[in-house]
């Protein structure tokens, strides 16, 4: 696949794809005889992983570390597992905070919906 096709398929710009590769967030992309990027299924799996990890909040540095560990082979499986478990723990912590904020917001919305219907806002708490 060309970089443009990959860009369209994954919803990222060609510049972002080049950045992922330049920074080491994905391994070097396969190139054709003319030196033009020709994304293989393996390359696409790396792009998908990079997108997922970035969306989950994984830092560029951590993603680069993961790729380097992967390239070093199966001896790094425990280190890769630890990196992923650490990211999972961070996401769960973020989710707890988001859930708490959503619960608070739901209570506020409920109060304001009642106030909108009755014309009276109860000021039990701010």
Q: Which two tokens stand for residue 123?
A: 């000021």
Segments making up each domain of the chain, as ranges: 3-118
Using alpha carbons only, give the angle 45, 48, 49 rounded to the nearest 5 degrees.
85
pTM: 0.74
pLDDT at res. 57: 83
What gap in Å lies between CA 115 and CA 36, rounded to an integer? 62
pLDDT at res. 64: 95
Fold of 3-118: Multidrug-efflux Transporter Regulator; Chain: A; Domain 2 (1.10.1660)
pLDDT at res. 124: 67
Report CA dihedral (24, 25, 30, 36) to the nearest 10 degrees: -80
pLDDT at res. 55: 87
* pLDDT-flagged residues of the chain (< 70): 124-126
pLDDT at res. 24: 95
What gap in Å lies between CA 96 and CA 53, rounded to an integer? 19
Contact 24, 30 (CB under 8 A): no
What gap in Å lies between CA 61 and CA 65, rounded to an integer? 6
């Amino acid at each position: 696949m060309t970089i443009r096709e990959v860009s369209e398929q994954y919803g990222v710009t060609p510049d972002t794809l080049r950045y992922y590769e330049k920074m080491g967030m994905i391994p070097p992309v396969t190139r054709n005889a003319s030196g033009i990027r020709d994304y293989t299924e393996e390359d696409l799996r790396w792009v998908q992983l990079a997108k997922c990890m970035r969306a989950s909040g994984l830092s560029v540095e951590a993603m680069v570390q993961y790729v380097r560990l992967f390239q070093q082979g199966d001896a790094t499986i425990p280190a890769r597992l630890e990196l992923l478990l650490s990211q999972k723990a961070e996401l769960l912590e973020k989710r707890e905070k988001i859930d708490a904020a959503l619960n608070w917001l739901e209570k506020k919305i409920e109060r304001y919906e009642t106030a909108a219907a009755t014309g009276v806002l109860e000021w039990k708490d701010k």
